[in-house]
Structure 1
């Protein structure tokens, strides 16, 4: 376990050490949840517009997936594992490039990664295959948000990886529940 932690710290320091004022600004913006509110609003509107009742159920299932990802990452993992964020770590804290504040004390796992991957997996599984360009763009978006957390000095790569895994699972679970509800209750498909 110590070797894995050392590897995680070394990879973090390598990735976090590559910075510039230009990318500081970009990554701060990418990581800011409020920047993405117009995207989320448009997503909700488009799903309901194109899929009507099914779209409303998609939005509810997606919201449940993201809510579960956020709860598991922030409500269960962080208080249970109590792993300090890199910027709070005594050993490497002085060498960490922190751009926009350190955030809460604990960082395992990344809620940003969990939430963004829950959105991406849900949408990639639910949308028809003809939307390949959109699915690729969403995947790039989730990776960019996740990487921004390392760049900003608030998460280790391991925090991101496990957060993404939680998001992948909850996104898949949301699709499973969505499909179960549409099969069991024809109201949603009418």
Structure 2
């Protein structure tokens, strides 16, 4: 299996001298696009209905659980990144920790799959899920992940999205009340002006 992983990596990894366009796109997908997740959740909370806000909380829980599962996997089984074994070309700096599964992609897909399972907002969640593919490609292209790291990420993301939705009755009520109280404390003036939904 590891030989297949290495073969796929070398097929997808950047050449020694990639084009400026490919490098720019890959770097954007690999490092910058992830900021869409907190931005989307923030906007969904500030402008959304109660239902949308609860969906954002469940999606946040899914992302956090996915990252927690990844940490446990990394502690139990250390899988070196390509550059740690001298394989391929590495075009962005990265700490030399366990590569499996990809934290970037786990967070991205855990949120996307959670929103998909909750069926709101449908178009955005489908778009998020599809954008996971170029993120996966970019992380491999730039030399910081193996292809199997992405399969691990999709598995963890699906599991965390399912678990946090199934267990929502245990935590959603309390977390919603707490988040709402913080929201009113932080945005009270803007709520009174009508700029932010109560």
- Does residue 76 (structure 1) correspond to residue 72 (structure 2)? The answer is yes
Would you say the 8 A contact 2:14–2:143 is kept in 1? no
Aligned residues: 174
Q: What TM-score do you get using the length of structure 2 for normalisation?
A: 0.76
Match of 1:123 in 2: 115
Shift of 1:37: 2.9
For 1:26, the equivalent position in structure 2 comes to 25
Please say if 1:154 is aligned against 2:150: no
Unaligned ranges ≥5, structure 1: none
Tell me the residue number matched to 1:40: 38
Change (3 A) 1:17 1:38: closer
Specify whether residues 99 and 182 from structure 1 end up closer, same or farther in structure 2 by C-alpha distance, changes over 3 A only: closer
Q: CA RMSD in A?
A: 2.7
SS of the residue aligned with 1:32?
helix
Q: Tell me the residue number matched to 1:105.
A: 97
Q: CA contact under 8 A between 1:118 and 1:171: conserved in structure 2?
A: yes
User: Could you say which structure has the larger radius of gyration?
Assistant: 2
What 5-or-longer segments of structure 2 have no aligned partner? 178-198
Aligned partners of 2:135 and 2:48: how far apart in 1? 27
Q: Which runs of 4+ in 1 moved over 6 A?
A: 182-185
- Indicate how the Cα distance of structure 1 residues 46 and 151 shifts in structure 2: closer, same or farther if over 3 A, else same: same
